[in-house]
Structure 1
Amino acid sequence: MKTLCILFRGWCCLFLLVFMGCAGSNKAPEEAVISAMNLKQGKTILCGPADKELGAVSFETSCSEKVRKEFDLALALLHSFEYDEAEKAFAAVINKEPTCAMAYWGVAMSNFHPLWSPPSKEEFEKGSKAVAIAQSITGKTKREAAYIAAIAEFYKDPQQTSHPARCVNFEKAMAQLYKAYPDDKDAAAFYALALDGAADPADKTYAKQRKAGQILTLLGGDQSFHPGVIHYIIHSYDYPSLAAMALPAARKYAAVAPSSAHAQHMPSHIFIRLGLWDESIHSNMVAADAARCYAASAGIKGHWDEELHCLDYLVYSYLQKADNKDAKEQCDYLKTIREIYPVTPKVIYSFAAIPARYVLENRLWMEAMALQPQVISGIVWEKYPWEKAIIHFTKLLGAVHLNQMDTAYAEFKTLNQLHDMLVQKQDAYKANQVQIQLKASAAWIAFREGKSSAALQLMKEAATLEETTPKPPVTPGEVVPARELLGDLLMAMNAPGDALEAYEINLQDHPNRFNALYNAGLAAEKSNNLAKAGRYYQQLLDVSDTPEADRPELTAAKAFLKRNKTLAMEYQPVTGLLSP
């Protein structure tokens, strides 16, 4: 009888293990634990087609069928970097099924954003809590456990490891996941993203980015309708020497995920790299409209930060087409903005860069010298030394060109102070950005002081430093490329041959830039290379083929071509680069 009782108890436990879980396994996390994450909640807000078109995603989980649709929506949002909405969508899954471990993984991923700035303290804590809950839930598949273990590598040991080191840890874990599940499209896509996020900015071979691109190509590349695949191709090749490889994906991504504001904007990264101004303008007009729609739908007081990012790209593109009318309209609109949510570094960058671009591109030196930081609610400019440095660099260039040297010296002193602040913060990357400005500033000051040799050496150092430093992701490009400033300095020194070389090198990384094209033509003309001057001037006119184009340089280019009607005008229309 005793043996029968033991057997009976054993069968009962086996029954509970299979159907209910034995000893409380797969028990839902306590409500207080879930509440402590302080998840974003509410209806998913998208501005685009009514049926929420975000690409083709289908992810197998051990969660019930009742949350499958919501999970795939959340994952699609995550792949398009719609992080706030992705978190809300994963929270909706948790509300329906608190034992869905992968929903907590999704929350952790939504607060990671590997290609943007590091998570805030609050975001990191939320992600860490989500990982802990995901790990505590039993009944996960081996594959799900591997996904959760991978993101846990990013969130562990925050006091002992830096953000870049944690990104590398995540990359290594995703490599193992990708190896274990080679047929998992999302594992491959997230591994490619991890490679991009862990890439060394100083590696000019772009080894990890190229590897990411190869993985994504195996998944269908630009023929895919998976939002992660098509999106991450753009990020993997968002570099001057690689950008052309991402052009097909850039021209498709907005159509793959039309309900994502980021999907409307992101292609313009490649359009900017290749000097395709019309496509960049269209992309950012649509994206800015989507951002305004999102702000209104979400009840944001003021403007959503993504709108400011789009405006910077939009103004930059207008200026390269000599469309001062539309560029100034956006600058004037910027002046009306007083509140932004959330306040992020890319917002501050836009407030500094947009007006700086307008005055510097148009050589409005008096306006450049008078530039001041815009007053915006809740923003203390002193907290953003690099962004503030852009304004002082602009003021310095204005003062130097007007020969107001006392003002130039004062601005140079301020730039040094801002650089020191970044060094003290151990923000090496941004300190390096200001160091480029300091060298360029010192070069122009030295030139005004009659120290041409020192000026030339400093300007070359600035150009070399900038070209070995990757473009920050918050910007379409430097307010003025250092190599272009070197060309300007050489023109001021009456060395047009050397200036032409500088402009041509600059155009390799910045094709179809208005001032680089015009000054390359002018330098070639002064060097008596009339055929090359004609090609650059014609290219300038073709780039500025809009009724709104209004710059005196266009008049000069037309006059030259009228005098020299037989010159050959050969160039490559895709990148704007001159034919060899």
Structure 2
Amino acid sequence: MKHARRAAAAAACSLVIGGAATPAAAHDAGGKPERLGTVVFTVSCKPDAQREINLAMAYYHSFAWAYVKEPLDRALQADAACGMAHFVRALSLLDNPFAWPTNLSPKLLDDGAAALAAARSTGLASQRERDYVEALSAFYRDHDKLNHRSRAQALEQEFDKLARRYGDDREALILHSLVLSANFDPADKSYANQLRAARQLEPLFQAMPDHPGVAHYLIHSYDYPPIAHHGLEAARRYSKIAPDAAHAQHMPSHIFTRLGAWRDSVESNRVSARSDTAKSFNSMHAFDYLVYAHLQLNQDKAAAQVMAEALALPNRADHFASAYAYSAIPARMALESGRWSEAAALELNPAAGGYPWQKYPQAEAVNAFARGVGAAMVKDGARVQAEHKRLLQLRDAAAQLKIGYWADQIEIQSEVVRGLASLVDGRVDESLRTLRQAAAREDATEKHVVTPGPIIPAREVLANALLDLDRPAEALVEYEAVLKREPNRLRATLGAARAAERQGDAAKARLHATKVLELTESADSVRPEVLHAKRLLGRA
């Protein structure tokens, strides 16, 4: 038995080194093979178990964690001594590293530690396998005593050591690249972690063209405005590598969104939502990106249809990405189309169903922010003040949950609302000072992967205020700064056209108005600002 197992492991190892492999076939309920890409994660288990491990890792690399359990159960049925099946279980329990630590509960961390203990007791046939288990243990060990950041950095370092120790093991390098990219500093504008991860992944992208994780993690590594164009090839390829993985259909839209390629984003997320069929948070996540893209094309009716479908889903997943989308989609619909009274009166959905909003203050803050902006636009100072107070409470709740990034983001939202409250009260200098500070703070950080973009960029709110105060030259500078970070954002483009026109810069006014018409050529509804852009160009 030992000799047979060793021979099987050697054969699998040669596949990793040679880069050619046939993955185990996954099947849907009707027996149709699923296309998930090619993954070979070599373990010292029987061949049938090895195939199931490969399948589980293919699911893992497309963030389809809900599907990992069944192949791992089959792997243990095929080989009860396959300890690495428990390792893959512990790995999959970590969920999305780019959402850490909001998606990690004490129970989940306890379960992961138990899975690693099971891996040791079940049997690990090589030093390499023992090293994998110990590397992952760096994250789970003492999770009740050590803070998340120190454990995440320890995991990054241990996976780095693993990749260096086993130079031919590409999976170790891929996992290190994933954690390295996810451990980025939101204030680091040199993108050191992300670019190092990309440098490790780019050669693998050529050597392993069908590996889902390589393309997936390249997209994550390039998901930032100044470097997004480097991720376009990975975005184009990933959806074809794993066409039956819902997340593989969605992820390209992260790059499309950064580049303002809204039609590509619409198609990507439409396919993703259809693939997931409301089985997980992926549907709501895709719907949020889809609504945002439709709105940038002035396809308000299409966006409304998506919102209706999203809010009618029977499976309201208790997941941060779902909670965020439930709050963000109605907020985007009201604010992007300028329906201020509607924004000011938005209710949390699905509040009536007892959704656990207390777990997700950063999602509830979207609702408070939208209500505050809407109230300011209809000059309801008391309601603006109420939403500002609510945002401060939600900021404190996020701090108590030890999600510092989101506490900072909610504070930025609260400052925007505070600046608008000052504007409503006629304290112009104070308002502009507050809005400028909020915009600078927002520019100094990066958006979270859960969202396609800010509900309204703080700098765009500043530009709107300046235009309303009849300071078009200053407003134009701010609108164009927004468009550098958020290319082809429709409301910023409309604002830039109006600001340039009022400033008397006919050339720039026509330039931005032309872009408005390009963006809205397939519009399905009418917005007054778009009609104005057409009149400016003589095309009304």
TM-score by length of 1: 0.85
Q: Cα distance 1:335–1:221, how it changes in 2: closer, same or farther (>3 A)?
A: same
Q: How does 1:194-209 map to 2 (within 5 A)?
A: 194-209=179-194
- CA distance in 2 between partners of 1:281 and 1:211 (Å): 30
How many percent of aligned residue pairs carry the same amino acid? 35
Match of 1:424 among 400, 403, 420: 400
Match of 2:143 among 158, 182, 201: 158
Structure 2 counterpart of 1:380? 356
Q: Which amino acid aligns with 1:524?
A: A
- CA distance in 1 between partners of 2:505 and 2:178 (Å): 47
- CA distance in 1 between partners of 2:411 and 2:443 (Å): 13
Match of 1:63 among 24, 34, 45: 45
- CA distance in 2 between partners of 1:19 and 1:320 (Å): 59
Structure 2 counterpart of 1:322? 298
Structure 1 counterpart of 2:377? 401
- CA distance in 2 between partners of 1:407 and 1:532 (Å): 37
- CA distance in 1 between partners of 2:523 and 2:269 (Å): 20
- 1:419 is displaced (CA, Å) by 2.2
Q: How does 1:413-452 map to 2 (within 5 A)?
A: 413-452=389-428
Q: Which amino acid aligns with 2:116?
A: V
Q: Cα distance 1:391–1:150, how it changes in 2: closer, same or farther (>3 A)?
A: same
- 1:117 is displaced (CA, Å) by 3.6
Match of 1:261 among 246, 250, 258: 246
- CA distance in 1 between partners of 2:125 and 2:420 (Å): 63
Structure 2 counterpart of 1:99? 81
Q: How does 1:362-381 map to 2 (within 5 A)?
A: 362-375=337-350, 377-381=353-357
Q: Give yes or no for contact 1:312–1:350 (8 Å, CA) kept in 2.
A: yes
- 1:313 is displaced (CA, Å) by 0.5
Is 1:482 matched up with 2:482? no
- 1:476 is displaced (CA, Å) by 0.9
Q: Cα distance 1:45–1:154, how it changes in 2: closer, same or farther (>3 A)?
A: farther
Q: Cα distance 1:269–1:19, how it changes in 2: closer, same or farther (>3 A)?
A: closer
Q: Cα distance 1:487–1:55, how it changes in 2: closer, same or farther (>3 A)?
A: same
- 1:385 is displaced (CA, Å) by 2.3
* Secondary structure at the counterpart of residue 368 of structure 2: helix
- CA distance in 2 between partners of 1:317 and 1:351 (Å): 16
Structure 1 counterpart of 2:126? 141
- CA distance in 2 between partners of 1:437 and 1:47 (Å): 45
* Secondary structure at the counterpart of residue 286 of structure 2: helix
Q: How does 1:17-36 map to 2 (within 5 A)?
A: none
Is 1:332 matched up with 2:311? no
- 1:455 is displaced (CA, Å) by 0.8
Structure 2 counterpart of 1:193? 178
Match of 2:35 among 34, 41, 53: 53
- CA distance in 1 between partners of 2:464 and 2:31 (Å): 48
Q: Which amino acid aligns with 1:191?
A: H
Structure 2 counterpart of 1:224? 209
Structure 1 counterpart of 2:225? 240
Q: Which amino acid aligns with 1:346?
A: A
* Secondary structure at the counterpart of residue 479 of structure 1: coil
Q: Give yes or no for contact 2:26–2:35 (8 Å, CA) kept in 1.
A: no
Q: Which amino acid aligns with 1:449?
A: D
Q: Deviation digits for residues 505-562 of structure 1, max 9, x if unmatched? A: 1111100011011111111111111111111111111111215253222211111112
Structure 1 counterpart of 2:482? 506
- 1:222 is displaced (CA, Å) by 9.5
Q: Cα distance 1:323–1:452, how it changes in 2: closer, same or farther (>3 A)?
A: same
Q: Give yes or no for contact 2:38–2:212 (8 Å, CA) kept in 1.
A: yes
- 1:338 is displaced (CA, Å) by 5.2
- CA distance in 2 between partners of 1:480 and 1:275 (Å): 15
Q: How does 1:410-559 map to 2 (within 5 A)?
A: 410-559=386-535
Q: Which amino acid aligns with 2:330?
A: P
TM-score by length of 2: 0.91
Match of 1:271 among 256, 262, 266: 256
- CA distance in 1 between partners of 2:502 and 2:227 (Å): 33
Q: Cα distance 1:147–1:223, how it changes in 2: closer, same or farther (>3 A)?
A: closer
- CA distance in 2 between partners of 1:322 and 1:221 (Å): 38
Q: Which amino acid aligns with 2:328?
A: A
- CA distance in 1 between partners of 2:470 and 2:88 (Å): 60
- 1:378 is displaced (CA, Å) by 4.1
Match of 1:115 among 98, 112, 120: 98
Q: Give yes or no for contact 2:82–2:124 (8 Å, CA) kept in 1.
A: no
Structure 2 counterpart of 1:575? none
Larger CA deviation: 215-224 vs 482-491 = 215-224
Q: Give yes or no for contact 1:70–1:92 (8 Å, CA) kept in 2.
A: yes
- CA distance in 1 between partners of 2:481 and 2:28 (Å): 42
Q: Deviation digits for residues 85-113 of structure 1, max 9, x if unmatched? A: 12322222122212112211101111013
- CA distance in 1 between partners of 2:55 and 2:82 (Å): 15
Q: Give yes or no for contact 2:340–2:374 (8 Å, CA) kept in 1.
A: yes
- 1:221 is displaced (CA, Å) by 4.8
Q: Cα distance 1:406–1:371, how it changes in 2: closer, same or farther (>3 A)?
A: same
Q: Cα distance 1:47–1:467, how it changes in 2: closer, same or farther (>3 A)?
A: farther
Match of 1:390 among 352, 366, 378: 366
Q: Which amino acid aligns with 2:341?
A: M
Q: Which amino acid aligns with 2:255?
A: I
Q: Which amino acid aligns with 1:390?
A: V
Q: Cα distance 1:485–1:462, how it changes in 2: closer, same or farther (>3 A)?
A: same
Q: Deviation digits for residues 206-264 of structure 1, max 9, x if unmatched? A: 10110000000121359721111111100111111111110110011011001111101
Q: Which amino acid aligns with 1:86?
A: V
Larger CA deviation: 447-456 vs 354-363 = 447-456
- 1:269 is displaced (CA, Å) by 0.8
Structure 1 counterpart of 2:56? 74
Q: Cα distance 1:381–1:116, how it changes in 2: closer, same or farther (>3 A)?
A: closer
* Secondary structure at the counterpart of residue 98 of structure 2: coil
- 1:44 is displaced (CA, Å) by 6.7
Q: How many residues align?
A: 518
Segments of 5+ residues of structure 1 without an aligned counterpart are 1-15, 21-42, 296-303, 565-580
Structure 2 counterpart of 1:353? 328
- CA distance in 2 between partners of 1:332 and 1:257 (Å): 28
Q: Give yes or no for contact 2:43–2:129 (8 Å, CA) kept in 1.
A: yes
- CA distance in 2 between partners of 1:280 and 1:352 (Å): 20
* Secondary structure at the counterpart of residue 58 of structure 2: helix
Q: Which amino acid aligns with 1:271?
A: F
Segments of 5+ residues of structure 2 without an aligned counterpart are 6-24
Q: Cα distance 1:190–1:368, how it changes in 2: closer, same or farther (>3 A)?
A: same
Q: Give yes or no for contact 1:87–1:106 (8 Å, CA) kept in 2.
A: no
- CA distance in 1 between partners of 2:430 and 2:27 (Å): 56
- 1:56 is displaced (CA, Å) by 1.4
